[in-house]
Structures are given as structure tokens and as C-alpha cells.
Chains A and B, each alone.
Chain A
Amino acid sequence: MEQQYIDLYTAHHESIKKHSAPAMNGLRDASFAQFEKLGFPTVALENYKYTDLKESLSIDYGLNINRIPIPVNPYDVFKCDVPGIHSYLYFVVNDGFYPVTDPRNTQLPDGVIIGSVKEVAATHPELLKDYFGKLSSTKEDGLIAFNGAFAQDGFFMYVPENVVLDKPVQLVNIMRADVDFMAVSHNVIILEKGAKAQLLVCDHTVDEVRFLSNRVTEVFVAENATYEHYKLENTHNKTTNLSTLLIDQDASSNVLANVITLHNGVTRNMIEIDVDGEHCETSLCGMVIGDKNQQVDNFTSIIHNKPNCNSRELFKYVLDDLAKGAFTGKLYVAKDAQKTAAFQTNRNILLKKTAKMRTKPQLEIYADDVKCSHGATIGSLDETALFYMRQRGISADEARLLLMFAFTNDVIENIRIPALQDRIKMLVEKRLRGELSKCEGCVICQ
């Protein structure tokens, strides 16, 4: 499986590099060597035990190494108008930054840079030099190595010191192709001291071909900065979504990451948050609603390296039909990270006998003055609550729905943008009712 990519790289690394930026090429050969060594991950690896990528990776995907423009006008397909959400709007089509400037984006605060990594590498090489690959290059992971070898572009955001982005930034990933297609991209997000930003990432697929995306996102959150990362996945069931989110937190920073999967094929979200300064706040949460053959694996780590920090982690899964869920929650408290308070919860509901859930919380603690806990449950809907509701005249189906909705509600309540919260509530409710969970007006999610 690896061989075709090894051959591809060997034959075409020159043009891969040519169509990328020097700042992204620095680590490329090393990443490739790493990929040659590691190959694609298999279930034999502890970290990939619960997601078998064999089938997804056996497809013969096309790659757009020569960066041929994709004929799509995102505005034709994407009409997201969350009432009350005003956002700065950007598109990535497959793995290329879509070059149209949205009129809404002209009022960005001074100094804020949002654009493609490739562009910024040309205009601000110094910015990329310090950050690109800083978090990802140290990871021993075949998918990240693959990304390092093949990613040619990505999304870039820079928020200078003490600048507050007044509106959320919305990044829409659109998968569009006529043949089975692989998109590889590498995003970089930098918040300087005291900066504030909210990013909403929406994943969509347009065509009925098989897609595989391999995206690495590195986020650097400096002292006192606040960063919120929302990810909403609504892709079709022929999509394989391999995403790596690496966040580094400096002192007194505040990070929230909320990843919601409403519809997908095979998804693996690897999320690692390194808490590298004191007095940080970290919230990591997510939800999965899965039916049919959906597979979602949230593989998360929160690494407490410094004292006096708090973290909370909350993941909820509702699985129906043949859906397969997996959750890993590694909580690491280093020797010097005294006074860490870290709490993790993972709750899962199986609606059918055929649905499967694997959960693996994991506490690794080397400091003694800590308060850490985790709780995990796997079960079905509460029968006594169901009966109570039916006694009040609520139909069994409606009662089930109310319970499922209530079950996922605390994840939604972790969204700090009220309009987005309402929107997601609506989407989740639609999803739980078995309706198409696309946003109104948007024609993407067919």
C-alpha cells in the first residue's frame, strides 16, 4: 500500500516541492524518510488498535500534486447562513486554498493574516519558519509523516499580540473531485500574547467519489491568548477523514476544542493538547452521532507539563446500526505539574446490538499533588426515564429522541458562540430524527 506513494514521491518530489513553498519543503525529505520507515499505521499499533485503515488506504486515490485548479465555485454550493453568525469566511477546496476574497473578509483587524500557507510562506517567511512543523515533526506517526511528505498547502491564520478577532473565522473544507481523491494539507494557526480567536471548521463532501483527507493542524497559543476551535464534520460515508490537531498552550492561555461528527465515513481525529505554561485552562470535548457504517475514533491526549492548570474533557457518542465508535483519552501529568486538576468523562449510548464502542481512558500521572479523575460508561437509554416520559403521554420515539438530545446537550453547551450553539442544536436534533443534517440553504450535504 505504501509502495505506490513511495514511488510517487521518488518520481515526483521535485514537482511536489516546486508547487509548494520553501518553508514547507524544509522538513519534506525527512518526513518522507520517516514515512518510509513507519509506513501507514495498522491495527497492530496500540494507537491504531481501534481503527483499521486498510480498506480506506487501499483505494487508488488521485493526488493533485501539480496544483491544477479545481473548477468549483464554493459560493454555488455553500450557503451557510447561521442566523446571527457573522464570520470571516474562507474556503479550502480539497487541499488548496480557494483564492476568492470574500467581501466580508476585508474588515479584518490590523495585523491579522489569514490566507494560504503557501502564500504566507512567500510574504512572511519568518512567521512560518518559526512554527511550521514544530509540533508535528516530533511525532512518530505514519499519517503525520505522510502529511509532511505530501502536503503542499494549507490554511494559515496569524493573530498579533492583544488583537481580538471580533467575529469567528469560518473555514469550509470542500471535497470536490470526479475521481477518488486524496487531499493532504497542513494548517498553521498562531495566536500571539493576549490574542483571541475562534475558528469554525466545517468539513463537507460534494461528489459521490471516495475521498481521503489527511490534514495536520498546528496551533500555537501564546501567553494569555484564548483560542476556540470548533470542528463540525458532515461528510458522506465514502469519506475517510484523518485529521491531526496539535495545540500548544503557553502560560495563562485558554483553549477550547470541540469536535462534532454528525455524518461521515471513517474518521480518525487525533487531538493532542500540550499544556506548556502555568495557569492554563483547557477544555476538550466532542460528540459523535453515528449510524449505518460510520466509524469514528477520537484519539485524544492532554499533556500537562506545567503546574496549576485545569483541564476538562468530555466526549459523548450515540451509536446506531453498525456504527463503530472509539475513544482514547490520554491524560498525562508530568512530574512537575503539581496542582493539576484534570477531569475526563466519556459516555456512550448504543442503540442497537450491532453498534460497537471501544473506550480507553488512560491516566498517566507522575505528580502527587493532583486531582484527576475519569469516568466512562457504555450503555443504552435509561428505561425508567423512558417509561416516565411515556406515562406523561410522550411517544416512545419522541421520548428516546428527547433523551438522546439531552445526552448530547452538555457537549453543545460547551460551544461559546450562542448562534453556533443554536445552529448545532438544530443540526443535532435533525440528525437524531434521521433527517438530513445539513444547514438550511446549503446544498453541499446531499
Chain B
Amino acid sequence: MSADILQEVTQNDYKYGFTTDIETDIIPIGLSEDVVRLISKKKNEPQWMLDFRLKAYRHWLTMKMPEWAHLNIPEIDYQSIAYYAAPRKNAPKSLDEVDPELIKTFEKLGIPLEERMALSGIAVDAVMDSVSVKTTFKESLGKLGIIFCSFSEAVENHPDLVQKYMSSVVPYTDNFFATLNCAVFSDGSFVYIPKGVRCPMELSTYFRINAINTGQFERTLIIADDDSYVSYLEGCTAPMRDENQLHAAIVEIVAMKNAEVKYSTVQNWYPGDKNGNGGVYNFVTKRGICKGENSKLSWTQVETGSAITWKYPSCILLGDNSSAEFYSVAVTNHHQQADTGTKMLHIGKNTSSHILSKGISAGVSQNSYRGLVKINPAAENARNFSQCDSLLLGDKCGAHTFPYMEVNNDTAIVEHEATTSKINEDQIFYCNQRGISTEDAVGLIVNGYAKDVINKLPMEFAVEAQKLLQITLEGSVG
């Protein structure tokens, strides 16, 4: 089943490019301290949150956009973006209060907002433009002490947790896009798994940009307390528009002693058309910390969308015996550009990390893996193994690998392997000989190539991802 995902993505046009006609509360374009205050006010935030935003905003003004990535990023006019857009009806108490158009949108996308309909048993937080529209299964999770809600609700109802952990993994000064997010973020998801609780279902956030000329700046905070477990899924789409939309999100994960967090993403923002017009700029800062002993963090990502992807889900291995994984498939086609990878910072003793990255480039796209493995002087017996493969499906695309290894302890073993090759013509011929068209053969081979990563996705998500991909173009092109 997972086999079809990539095939669909590489071979079909974008299917989620519809917009939804709903009343939207949108603030005028532009960015200033007043806008930051306005966002905070619209969200009825406490003073400490406003202070945090302003601190970040003032710092952002001193920063420059990073240039080190192997990307060609057109000038972005930060004054022509609207930093807040929300469906007019806010914070529905029950499904009846949700705008029916909105429900339709998410149904079209295959997102089960209706709890009774949620056959797959996934709890969903759906974020449209700037705000969280509906979180499902909240009550049944609540019985276990699990908090799963929108970020805004968390600020209101769990300020202590938010204050303690927000920006504890990604400081507000971290990087240009993260700092921008800190200033203007609108909403996102919040998860807290209490001590000793295994979250019984997959938690999922679904992001969608709908309104025109808006940026989406959400942030997600996941805290897994001692001996807990959670698997978290993230999906995203956007309508087709000629102009570029900016998405600058932050995800922070804290794993305490013996906790395990799995974070999976199928990123399918609008990549732009065949000629490179439009598409989402996806500049995301994702980072987790294995804070406690024996904690475990795993990132799995299938990156298929966006015009430009700039994203390095990273792990700080602080706790002794902690371990981290990064599994990634990044597909670029047409004019897409991706510069993605991970950072593994080994600090505690006996920490281990594993990186598996598969890049697939087609069309005139550029696909780069960039990764850092750093072993601190006190990180005894650290282990890392990285494998980064690139597959080229045309002679006009590029595949690049930029691994950095910095080792400061002689008990470490760090290994890196990378290969770049074109798709094997013998394999295609073999398929042809068995009656399989070249197009299908490429699909099969590419899927086989990416299988090790796709297999890491939770079953439920593979189903969901497949559903996302199965929406027909009919009537959905906006």
C-alpha cells in the first residue's frame, strides 16, 4: 500500500489545489510591532506571550536570511504577507459549530474530523491557515491525562507547561525563520503525555493553507514525560496559487526518561506548477531533545511537496543511553528545490543515532541532503551510522550530499556512506520485458528504493497518506 504513495506523487499533478470558500478573518498584510501585538490580542494572549513575541520580533529585525543552503530562494517581501488568517467562526465547541464548508474541505482531504467516522482511530488537530479548527478525541485522551489541543488552548489552559517548555528546544534566537515564527505564530498543536502513559492512538495534526497571500506560522510542542510513548503524525496541503506562500513552522519535542516519541510527516504542500510558478516555501525548524536517560526520538519524513524545502529535523541526545533516528525520503520534480537532512548532537554517554536518507530528483529540480553529526567531548561511546543515497531520474536535475561529521571523543564510532546513481536501466528493461511500462517500472523501482523509509511510517499514516493521494482531481482544482 505504501508502495503507491511515491508513485502517485512523482507521476501525478497536484490534487489538493482547491480553495475553500469560507469567511476568513484576515489581518492586513505587513509586519510590524503593531501587527505582532494585534495577533496576540486577537488570540487573547496573556502578557508573557506577547512579551515573548516582541522579544523575538525585535531580534528578528537584526537577522539576515541564511544563505548557506544549496537553494535559490527568490527575494521574499515580508511586508506583503498577511500574518494572520482565521476561519471566521472560531473555536467550535462541537462539530455542529464548525463551518460545514470546512468540514467538507477536510473530508475532501480525507481527514476524519467526525469522531464517529474516524475508523482509523487517529486523533486529529486540524489547522487551517492560522488557527486550529478542531481537535478530535480530546475527551477520551483526557481520561488518560493526555493533553492534545491547539496551541492557543494550551496557552490558556496549561500556561505552566507552555512556559516551561516552549522554546526550550528551539530558542527564539535560533534562526531567521524560527525567530519569525516566534514573533507571529498563530496556532498549532500541543501534546503532553503524562508519566507512564502510552498514548493509545496516533495523534495527528493536519495543516492547510487556504487564504490568499497568507503565511502559515504554526508551532507544535510535544512533551513526553517519563516512561511515556507517543506517535505523532503531521500532514499538510495547500491550494494551487500562482504566487508563493510562506510556511515557517516550529516543532519542538521533549522526551524525558525512558520516553519514546515518533514523529512522522508526509509533507505535500503545493510544489508549484510544471514551470516553477507558485508553490509553498517550506522553511521549518524541527528539533527534539532526548532529555532523559534511555529516551528515544524518531523522525520519519516523506517530503514530496513545496517549491522550496528547508528543513532539518534534529535531535539533541542529552540523556545517557538515548537514541535517535532520522528516516527521510525527499522527492523533487519540476522546479522544486529541497535542502533537507538532520542534525544529531551527541552529548550524553552511550548515545546512538541512525540516519537513512533517500533523495530522488527528477525534472529540473535540485535535491540536497545536509546533515551534521557532532560528538561532544563527554559523549562516551557514541555511535552513528548514516546512509544517504540519491537517485537521479533525468539529466537536468541535481543531487547533492553535504554531510558534516565532527567528532571530539575517541570512543565514538561514526560512519557515513553515500551513493549517487541514476536509475538502473537493466532493471527497467527487465520490467519492460515482463510487460510493465517504463513509467510503471520507474514507479516500482523508486518505491523499492524508498521502501526502508516508507516502512517506518505508522500503518495508519500510510493509509491516511494514501487517502490524501487518492483524492481525484475532479472538482477539487480551485
Contacts and interface: CB of A to CB of B under 8 A. Distances in A.
Please determine if A and B sit in direct contact within the complex, based on CB atoms under 8 angstroms apart: yes
Interface of A: 46, 335, 338, 348, 350-380
Contacts of B409: 350, 353
Nearest to B369: A363
Contact of A360 (B404, B413, B415): B404
Contact of A361 (B395, B407, B418, B421): B418
Contacts of A352: 410
A363 B400 contact: yes
5 cross-chain pairs, A with B, having the tightest CB-CB distances, nearest first:
A350-B410, A368-B392, A379-B413, A363-B401, A378-B407
A351 B395 contact: no
Contacts of B68: 46
A364 B398 contact: yes
Interface centre among A357, A360, A363, A367 (most CB of B within 10 A): A363
A366 B377 contact: no
B410 A375 contact: no
Interface string B398-423: 11111111111111111111111110
B402 A360 contact: yes
B398 A373 contact: no
Given A356-B406, A363-B400, A363-B420, 13 more contacts: A353-B411, A354-B377, A356-B407, A356-B408, A359-B416, A360-B405, A361-B401, A362-B400, A364-B70, A369-B395, A374-B418, A375-B415, A376-B405
A365 B412 contact: no
9 contacts: A353-B410, A356-B406, A363-B420, A365-B399, A366-B397, A370-B422, A375-B416, A378-B414, A380-B411
A338 B409 CA distance: 40
B403 A376 contact: yes
A211 B390 CA distance: 44
A371 B425 CA distance: 13
B58 interface: no
Contact of B395 (A335, A372, A380): A335
**Interface residue SS majority, chain B:** strand
A338 B421 CA distance: 11
Contact of B419 (A348, A354, A357, A373): A373
A365 B418 contact: no
Contacts of B397: 366, 368
B395 A365 contact: no
A66 to B, nearest CB: 43
Nearest to A50: B406
A357 B405 CA distance: 8
A421 B13 CA distance: 60
A274 B441 CA distance: 37
A427 B400 CA distance: 38
A312 to B, nearest CB: 15
A354 B68 CA distance: 30
Contacts of A356: 406-408
A359 B408 CA distance: 12
B468 interface: no
A350 to B, nearest CB: 4
Contacts of A355: 410
B420 A372 contact: yes
Contacts of B6: none
Contacts of B403: 360-362, 376
Interface of B: 68, 70, 377, 390, 392-422
Contacts of A379: 412-415
A378 B412 contact: yes
Contacts of A364: 70, 398, 400
A369 to B, nearest CB: 5
A364 B394 CA distance: 15
Contact of A358 (B394, B405, B412, B415): B405
B414 A377 contact: yes
Nearest to B67: A46
Contact of A377 (B408, B411, B413, B421): B413
A346 B68 CA distance: 24
A362 B399 CA distance: 11
Nearest to A381: B410
Contacts of B411: 353, 380
Contacts of A373: 417-420
B414 A375 contact: no
Given A353-B409, A369-B395, A374 B401 contact: yes
A348 B410 CA distance: 10
A139 to B, nearest CB: 20
Contacts of A46: 68
A93 to B, nearest CB: 39
Contact of A378 (B70, B405, B421): B405
B141 to A, nearest CB: 44
A350 B412 CA distance: 9
Contact of B422 (A359, A368, A378): A368
B404 A363 contact: no
A302 to B, nearest CB: 14
Contacts of A370: 392, 420-422
A377 B415 contact: yes
B395 A338 contact: yes
Nearest to B401: A363
B401 A362 contact: yes
B69 to A, nearest CB: 11
Contacts of B392: 365, 367-368, 370
Contacts of A363: 390, 399-401, 418, 420
A358 B392 CA distance: 29
A374 B409 CA distance: 23
A378 B396 CA distance: 34
A375 B398 contact: no
A368 B395 contact: yes
Nearest to B395: A368
A367 B395 contact: yes
Contacts of B413: 377-380
Nearest to A364: B400
